[in-house]
Amino acid sequence: MVDLQERQAAAATAAASPAIHCVELSKHYGRTVALAGLTMTMPRGEVFGFLGPNGAGKTTAVKLLLGLVDPTGGEGWVLGKRVGDVPVRRRVGYLPELFRYQPWLTGAEVMRVHCELARLRRSTWSDEVDRALRLVGLAGRGRDRVRTYSKGMQQRLGLGVALLGSPELVFLDEPTSALDPVGRHDVRQIIHHLRERGTSVFLNSHLLTEVEMVCDRVAMIDQGRVIATGTLDELLSGSACRFRVTGLDPRQRASLSSFGDLNDDGEWIVILGLPGERVPEVVQEIVGMGGRLYAVEPRQQTLEDRFLQLLGEGGS
């Protein structure tokens, strides 16, 4: 009886635990630091965007959380179990970045192998495979060999494999990298569907607009550390304004940084964190310096603006 109560208490604790929680999780390869110290919490049932420039340690973090590599330091928990726990992987799905399935198998056979490895009941395999194939738009192609699949179809197959057995947590590592616009739209729909079902989705992507469209919460990492985390509302509270300007030399353009963080692509100057009431002051300044102003577009800050702003702060 006590044992049953203890198990129920443990189950309740596990259910109440975040999908992912880690403290100073790090990975070093010799002298190379792949992940300096990841500290973050991903609540359950949310779509969590994990962003960072190339080489920031995103994929290393995913591998650490899945127990595919051992951490050099720190601690982490996935679905209430310590990182590296093998049984918890029955409740986790994973779509790796740049993968290739066995080309000699059919799509349905690949899925059946994963049903078996995920220890799903044999009687459910056929239904699971059919459901996953339908969900990722491969119904009717399950009997074809993987070698006949296009890159986009392989990506869809990988997504289907990750969703077998209705996992509680799904890691998607660059899920739209090989997909055309229709495929990307379909993936977004699938992610929305997962969220409605209460599945936690860890989305590793560098496509910021995609992340902005589907994620509830975001963590941004750079050089192996989280530099910002929060809901999209929390992160993108700032306003921005962009100006199409000619006739200013680089020094004059740079001088506009006194109004806020500057993002200058040569044609457009974006000033981040600029309150609306200060826009006329900027216009006056540009005109005063002899610049020719063609357009002024106040707008809400985008994830890309915020991302670049944070990277700029980190680098300065």
* Residues in contact with other proteins by the rule CB under 8 A: 29, 63, 66, 68-69, 86-87, 89-90, 92, 94, 96-102, 104-105, 113-114, 116-119, 158, 161, 171
Cβ closest to other proteins, residue 101 vs residue 307: 101
Residue whose CB is less far from other proteins, 103 or 198: 103
Grouping H, G, I as helix, E, B as strand and the rest as coil, residue 231 is strand
**Which residue, 68 or 296, has its beta carbon nearer to other proteins?**
68
CB 245 within 8 A of CB 292: yes
What is the tally of helices (H) and strands (E) in the chain? 11, 14
Which residue reads 């304004």 in tokens? 241
Exposed, middle or buried: residue 238 (CB in 10 Å: 0-12, 13-18, 19+)? middle
d(CA 285, CA 72): 52
Complex with other proteins: residue 49 or 165, whichever CB lies closer: 165
The answer to whether 92 and 169 have CB atoms below 8 angstroms apart is yes
Taking the complex as a whole, the smallest distance from the CB of residue 197 to other proteins amounts, in Å, to 21
CB-wise, 114 or 242, nearer to other proteins? 114
Q: For residue 242, with 0-12 CB atoms within 10 Å meaning exposed, 13-18 middle and 19 or more buried, which class applies?
A: buried
Q: How far is the CB of 125 from other proteins (least distance, A)?
A: 13
Nearer to other proteins, 1 or 86 (CB): 86
Q: Is 131 exposed, middle or buried (0-12, 13-18, 19+ CB in 10 A)?
A: middle
Least CB distance to other proteins at residue 66 (A): 5
In whole angstroms, how close is the CB of 120 to other proteins at the nearest point? Answer: 10
Give the residue carrying structure tokens 């601690």. 75
To the nearest whole angstrom, how small is the minimum distance from the Cβ of residue 44 to other proteins? 19
User: Minimum Å distance from CB 211 to other proteins?
Assistant: 22
